[in-house]
Structure 1
Amino acid sequence: MPAMSDIRVFGVDFTSAPRRAKPIRVAEGLRHGAVVRLGGVVAHLTLEDFSAWLSTPGPWVGGFDLPFGLPRELVEHLGWPTDYAALMAHYAALGRDEIRERFAAFCDARPAGGKFAHRACDGPAGSSPSMKWVNPPVAFMLHAGVPRLLAAGVQLPGHLPGTDSRIALEAYPGLLARELIGRRSYKSDTKAAQTPERLIARKDMVDALEQGRTRLGLRLKLSHAQRDELVADASGDALDAVLAMVQAAWAAQQPRYGWPAGVDPLEGWIVGA
């Protein structure tokens, strides 16, 4: 890898069913010292376009807003492989209906308040369990995303050994968003819910990113047009991609890309949790 003081970084706001109204958003930037300069945000309308983009030559570090692993408790209960590569191959071969049925049956057999199995990173990150199939359907995001990462040959540090200069890390924009604006809502895909309050929250978030008011110790550098576009996007998808990019930029200069010691490679870890 080159010196991490000047490295290309990406942030990906992923969806398992991209379309014109809800594409996969990819933010590209360059980290130089404590500054992350946004190059731009592009949209991919299909999973095939996303797969093609993954071949972008390295070196780069990308933060991907989708789970990379499943809870070990769930995997062992279902009798699935406990080797990461074998587990992902098994999971990719399943249909979404079968995944939903298996996970629903697991939850149905458990008491209220403890339906889902969790990964160790869910608590510190405040993230949804990676087996959740609705609101948000992160189980299907894993199903659509991770096999494409593996097929592209990018490196998944902590999960699998590798030497590729394209580094993919699990990011969660909501973790950084809460640090910037607390529990305030800043986005909605529903027109009626795209309120002035959410617009102000996005503006406050962008201001805080530019001023470097986070524990990540990085400042985001934007043009006037980029700032206006991020604030104006009521879906928050472009802003989420930028948040994931900033998380990747932080991880790029951390030992083990920010993974704590002793993390279960089957479950993985969320950048900054």
Structure 2
Amino acid sequence: MPAMQGLRVFGIDFTSAPRRAKPIRIAAGHRQGPVVRLDGLTALDTLDAFSAWLRTPGPWIGGFDLPFGLPRELVVHLGWPTDYAALMAHYAALSRESIRERFAAFCDARPAGAKFAHRACDKPAGSSPSMKWVNPPVAWMLHAGMPRLIEGGVHLPGHLAGDESRVALEAYPGLLARELVGRRSYKSDTKAAQTPERLIARKDIVDSLEQGRTRLGVRLKLSHAQRDELVADASGDSLDAVLAMLQAAWAAEQPRYGWPEEADPLEGWIVGA
């Protein structure tokens, strides 16, 4: 890897069950003024490899595509701890089956159209509720990822103090992608759905990022091979990692890393929401 200049930034496209066919994707880059250069993409196919990677020496800032918190409404209803560290320890100690039963019972008691509890950041970000256990299973991403972030001792602004040279923020690539291509789909894990239209949407996203046509005020710098790789990955995982990296690069320049004053430390906040 070339010698780094500027701030090191990472974007992490997380999965709760990484494997060789569907790894955790990490985009590594550095920010120099308004330019963010992509240095490379890494694939981690186990959660233990992810835990080891988290100990990468700082300084760096990373955007992680997984929820960092649960809706306060849900936590209070279930009688779970309302202190963040205590809540995460309680959640991590539960089995997925136990979590699913509690969340399903909560949803079953609510009217159609309002089954899930939401965090304050969900609506402005357009993200799925962090209690959702299917399509996408973000509740399992929280369950698998946050204990490892906490154990890794990274700094979680707004949530928990840690090593301030290694800063972890909640990112959501879909927020930035929608700014660039609206509701056009750009990815699928299903071969039959990996259409020319989705490939064109990925190309349009990459073109816009290289031209700096986003409200983040940063411009992506790629090699020809990197551009081809991002467009060719029909799963969208590589591109999502890069989108999360750019969100982290933007947050690095913001007061409180872009957290609004009124953000709830139990729920957390999505970068740029």
Q: TM-score range by the shorter chain?
A: over 0.9
Whole-Å separation in 1 of the counterparts to 2:36 and 2:48? 28
Distance 1:50 1:163, change over 3 A: closer
User: Superposition pairs for residues 91-106 of structure 1, below 5 Å?
Assistant: 91-106=91-106
Note if 1:27 corresponds to 2:27: yes
Matched, 1:55 2:55: yes
Residue in 2 aligned with 1:110?
110
In 1, Cα distance between equivalents of 2:87 and 2:6: 35
Confirm or deny that 1:242 pairs with 2:249.
no
SS at match of 2:156: coil
Distance 1:178 1:159 in 2: 27
1:264: which partner in 2? Answer: 264
Looking at structure 2, the residues matched to 111 and 200 of structure 1 have their Cα atoms a distance apart, in angstroms, of 39
Task: Look up the equivalent residue of 1:137 and give its one-letter code.
Answer: P
Q: CA deviation at 1:163?
A: 4.5
Structure 2: tracts of 5 or more residues without a match: none
Contact kept in structure 2, 1:155 and 1:166, CA below 8 Å: yes
Aligned residue type for 2:248: A
State the SS of the aligned residue for 2:262.
coil
Helix, strand or coil at the partner of 2:63: strand
CA deviation string 1:216-272 (max 9, x = no partner): 000000000000000000000000000000000000010000001121100000000
- Contact persistence 1:63–1:169 (CA under 8 A): yes
Q: What is the alpha-carbon root mean square deviation over aligned residues? A: 0.8
Helix, strand or coil for the counterpart of 2:167? strand
Residues of 2 paired with 1:99 and 1:196: CA distance? 39
TM-score by length of 2: 0.98
Contact 1:153 1:164 in 2 (8 A): no
Identity between Structure 1 and Structure 2 (%): 84
* Residue of structure 2 equivalent to 1:73: 73
Cα separation, 1, equivalents of 2:163 and 2:31: 21
Which residue of structure 1 lines up, in the alignment, with residue 175 of structure 2?
175
Note the residue ranges of structure 1 that are not aligned, 5 or more in a row.
none
SS at match of 1:165: strand
> Is the CA contact (8 Å cut-off) linking 2:153 and 2:163 kept in structure 1?
no
Aligned-partner Cα distance in 2 for 1:132–1:65? 15
Quote the residue 1:210 is aligned against.
210
Instruction: Kindly tell me the number of residue pairs found equivalent between the two proteins.
Output: 269
Q: Structure 2: how far apart are the matches of 1:127 and 1:188?
A: 17
Structure 2: how far apart are the matches of 1:237 and 1:34? 24
Tell me the equivalent position of 1:6.
Answer: 6
Which whole-Å CA distance do the structure 2 matches of 1:117 and 1:191 have between them? 33
Alpha-carbon distance, 1:164 to partner: 2.6
Q: Deviations over 1:175-208 (max 9, x none)?
A: 0000011110000000011000000000000000
Contact 2:62 2:245 in 1 (8 A): yes
Contact 1:71 1:117 in 2 (8 A): yes
Cα distance in 1 between the residues matched to 2:163 and 2:48: 25
